[in-house]
Amino acid sequence: MSFRITTNGSMRLYKSNLMKSYNKLTSAGEKVMTNRKFNSYAEDPASASQAFQMRRTLWLTESQLTNNNAVSNTYDVAWKAIDKVQNDLGYQLGKVSDLRGLNGPTGSGRQPLGQTLLSTAESMVQTMNSKYGDRFVFAGADGLNVPLSWSEDGQMLYRGIPVNVHAAGQLDENGNDLGEQVVMVDGKPLKDVNGNEIKEKDAYNMLKAMSEETTYVDLGMGLAERNGTVVQTSAFNSALSGLNYLNYGMDEDGDPKNLVMLTKKLGEIFSNCDPDSGAFVPASDEDVANRLTDKLEAALSDLTVEYVALDTEATFLKTNTERLTSTKDTLNEQITQIEDMEGADAITSFAWANYCYNAALKIGNSILSQSLIDYMQ
């Protein structure tokens, strides 16, 4: 069986093949310009799928790296703040120890030291209110509101709650539960959002809850949930509560546990000393000053423990930055191997496509007969 070859049939077949050659030339030109092995999913479905997974992992890694850098910078600010508090208070405690048991001309240094301690307490509050960007570093999960403040009656407040409160079960000398007392601020009962008066035991529990707040951030540790709760080992808790460094509550002697309030109370006692002899006024304040000094030294030791823990976490963040950066570089290399092609291969493919297209044009001139229109110039 034979087929009749017509002029129209030859024209259609030629145009189809010429367009295929042109499309190959265009595709080769795009590869030269973009240096990519494929520019659509249809060109190489397997490589495109693999590249998509790689890029998705890269985007996630870049997001984790951004989170890590932000948290790391916040921890740098926190580290410097705690370091300043530790050094300032440690220096003042050294001077307190030098004046222990001394009276006369030497003991006269107690009163100015008391003023210095009061200034140190104020400085600690300002330092612990440090910000990174628009967020307060030591405000726990509520980084938009200032964590530490003073009431008009001289109490230190953490997010509006006095830190000198008793826990449930703490009794006075008459056996009364101090935790049942209503919290007073500036001579008025402290109330909750519903207008109910807050007892000290409830305020203590509120402070405890704020000290345990968490803000989990994905830093590339395999973020996972279990029963709707983030698995702690799979994420990083970036919430820093000032209560964990300064403490809160009252002890069995009725003294504050808070580092700032201990410093302030000791400063007030020293400020009342006789300016000439340095004698305590009243004399019973000497025993109180010695007791507070011991507790202040213990509180400073606790701060040092927290400082070491903070330093450990800051070191982890720096190490994690290096790990994520290395992962990002590796992913970029793998994506390059999948998507990019050698420049020499791209140019060779383009040259061959161009040769084929020109050959197709030349063949067209040979096989297509000229018509009367070609002579009408």
pLDDT tens string 308-324: 999 999 999 999 999 99
Please check whether residue 305 lies inside any domain of the structure: yes
CB 222 within 8 A of CB 64: no
Judge if 71 and 194 occupy the same domain. yes
Q: What pLDDT is recorded for position 370?
A: 54
Residue 232 in tokens: 């702690």
Name which of 4-13, 197-206, 250-259, 323-332 the model is least confident about.
4-13
Q: 138 in a domain, yes or no?
A: yes
**Mean predicted lDDT score pLDDT of the chain:** 87
Q: Are residues 135 and 121 in the same domain?
A: yes
204 and 275 inside one domain: yes
- Widest CA span of the chain, in angstroms? 132
When mean pLDDT is compared across 60-64, 199-203, 270-274, 339-343, the lowest value belongs to 339-343
CA distance 197 to 278: 43
User: For residues 118 and 61, what is the distance between their CA atoms, to the nearest angstrom?
Assistant: 47
Average pLDDT, integer, range 8-22: 72
In 3-state terms, what secondary structure has residue 365?
helix
For residues 202 and 292, membership in a common domain is answered with yes
Q: Bigger pLDDT: 104 or 65?
A: 65
Rounded distance, CA 349 to CA 36, Å?
Answer: 12
The answer to whether the beta carbons of residues 183 and 200 sit under 8 Å apart is yes
The model carries a pTM of 0.81
Handedness of CA 320, 67, 222, 330 (dihedral sign): negative
Residue 2 lies in a domain: no
Cα 356 from Cα 18, distance rounded (Å): 9
Q: Residues 6 or more apart from 113 whose CB is under 8 A from it?
A: 92, 95, 96, 99, 270
> Is 5 within the bounds of a domain?
no
Residue 53 to residue 45: CA distance in whole angstroms = 12
For residue 34, what pLDDT is reported?
Answer: 66
Mean pLDDT, rounded, for 221-248: 92
| pLDDT band per the 50, 70, 90 thresholds, residue 188 | very high
How far CA 3 is from CA of 6, 9, 290, 368, in Å, comes to: 9, 11, 117, 19
Number of folded domains in the chain?
A: 2
pLDDT at residue 199 in the model:
96
Rounded to 5°, angle at Cα 52 from 46 and 338: 60
Q: How far is CA 281 from CA 120, 263, 335, in A?
A: 22, 18, 76
What are the start-end ranges of the E strands in 60-217? Answer: 131-132, 135-136, 148-150, 156-158, 161-162, 184-185, 188-189, 216-217
The candidate with the shortest Cα–Cα distance to 139, out of 246, 56, 14, is 246
Choice among 143-157, 175-189, 283-297, 345-359 with the minimum mean pLDDT: 345-359
Within this chain, do residues 252 and 221 fall inside the same structural domain, yes or no?
yes
User: Are 187 and 306 in the same domain?
Assistant: yes
H/E run at residue 119? helix 110-128
The pLDDT assigned to 107 comes to 76
- Give first-to-last CA distance, the chain, whole Å: 43
Is residue 254, in this structure, part of any structural domain at all?
yes
The answer on 255 and 109 residing in a single domain is yes
Are 284 and 360 members of one domain? no
Question: Residue 24 — very low, low, confident or very high, per pLDDT cuts 50/70/90?
Answer: confident
Which string of b and e fits 58-87 if b means at least 16 CB within 10 Å?
A: beebeebbebbeebbebbebbbebbeebbe
Lowest mean pLDDT among 164-168, 256-260, 278-282: 278-282
* Residues in CB range of 253: below 8 A, 6 or more apart: 291
Residues spanned by the domain of 64: 51-335
Same structural domain for residues 249 and 364? no
Asked if residue 312 is part of any domain, the answer here is yes
The confidence score (pLDDT) of residue 377 equals: 47
Residues 119 and 32 in one domain: no
Asked if the structure places residue 298 within a domain, the reply is yes
- 284 and 346 together in one domain: no
For residue 339, what pLDDT is reported?
Answer: 77
Q: Which of 59-63, 102-106, 126-130 has the lowest mean pLDDT?
A: 102-106
Residues 298 and 362 in one domain: no
**Residue 251: predicted pLDDT:** 94
* 319 lies in some domain: yes
Q: Band the pLDDT of 15: cuts 50, 70, 90.
A: confident
Residue-level pLDDT at 185? 95
> Which pLDDT tens digit goes with each residue over 50-103?
989 999 999 999 999 999 999 999 999 999 999 999 999 988 888 888 777 767
Distance CA 52, CA 59 (A): 10
Lowest mean pLDDT among 19-23, 112-116, 190-194: 19-23
Nearest to 210 by CA among 240, 251, 183: 240
Residue 19 has pLDDT above 90, yes or no: no
> CATH no. for residue 128?
1.20.1330.10
Average pLDDT over residues 129-134: 93
